[in-house]
Structure 1
Amino acid sequence: MMRKLTFAMNVTLDGYIAAPGDDLGWSGGDGPDSSSSGEFFQFWSDRVGATDLALYGRKLWEVMSAAWPTADQAPGATPAEIEFSRRWRDMPKVVFSSTIDKVDWNTRLVTGDAVTEITRLKTEDGGPMDIGGATLAAAAMRAGLIDEYVLVTAPVLVGGGTPFFTALDSWVNLNLVETRTFPGGLLLTRYETRR
Structure 2
Amino acid sequence: MRKLTWGMNVSLDGYIAAPGDDLTWGVPSDELFQWWSDRVAVTELALYGRKLWETMSSHWPTADEQPGVIPAHIEFARRWRDMPKVVFSSTTSAVDWNARLVTGDAVAEITQLKTEDGGEMDIGGATLAAAALRAGLIDEYAIVTHPVLVGGGTPFFPTLDHWVNLKLVETRTFPGGVLLTRYETRR
Which of 67, 71, 75 is matched with 2:67 structurally?
75
TM alignment of 1:1-195, pairs within 5 A = 2-29=1-28, 38-195=30-187
In 2, distance between residues paired with 1:73 and 1:49?
Answer: 20
| Runs of 4+ displaced beyond 3 Å | none
Q: TM-score scaled by structure 1?
A: 0.95
CA RMSD in angstroms, aligned pairs only: 0.7
In 1, distance between residues paired with 2:176 and 2:61?
Answer: 27
In 2, distance between residues paired with 1:115 and 1:67?
Answer: 28
What is the CA-CA distance between 1:12 and the residue it aligns to? 0.2
What is the CA-CA distance between 1:75 and the residue it aligns to? 1.2
What is the CA-CA distance between 1:158 and the residue it aligns to? 0.5
Which amino acid in structure 2 is aligned with residue 18 of structure 1?
A: A
Which amino acid in structure 2 is aligned with residue 11 of structure 1?
A: V
What is the CA-CA distance between 1:122 and the residue it aligns to? 0.2
In 1, distance between residues paired with 2:98 and 2:62?
Answer: 13
In 2, distance between residues paired with 1:42 and 1:92?
Answer: 20
Structure 1 residues 63-122: Cα deviation after superposition (integer angstroms, max 9, x where no partner): 000010111111111110000000000000000000010100000000000000000000
After superposing the two structures, state which structure 1 stretch, 67-76 or 103-112, moved more. Answer: 67-76
SS across alignment from 2:141: strand
The alignment covers a number of residue pairs equal to 187
Which amino acid in structure 2 is aligned with residue 56 of structure 1?
A: Y
Which amino acid in structure 2 is aligned with residue 4 of structure 1?
A: K
Q: TM-score scaled by structure 2?
A: 0.99
In 2, distance between residues paired with 1:142 and 1:50?
Answer: 25
Which amino acid in structure 2 is aligned with residue 140 of structure 1?
A: A
Which amino acid in structure 2 is aligned with residue 144 of structure 1?
A: G
SS across alignment from 1:168: coil
In 2, distance between residues paired with 1:64 and 1:149?
Answer: 20
What is the CA-CA distance between 1:168 and the residue it aligns to? 1.0
Structure 1: gaps spanning 5 or more residues:
30-34
What is the CA-CA distance between 1:169 and the residue it aligns to? 1.2
Alignment identity in percent?
80
In 2, distance between residues paired with 1:50 and 1:78?
Answer: 21
SS across alignment from 1:26: helix
In 1, distance between residues paired with 2:101 and 2:36?
Answer: 23
Structure 1 residues 143-191: Cα deviation after superposition (integer angstroms, max 9, x where no partner): 0000000000000001100000011111000000000000011000000
In 1, distance between residues paired with 2:132 and 2:160?
Answer: 11
Aligned to 1:32: none
In 1, distance between residues paired with 2:161 and 2:106?
Answer: 19
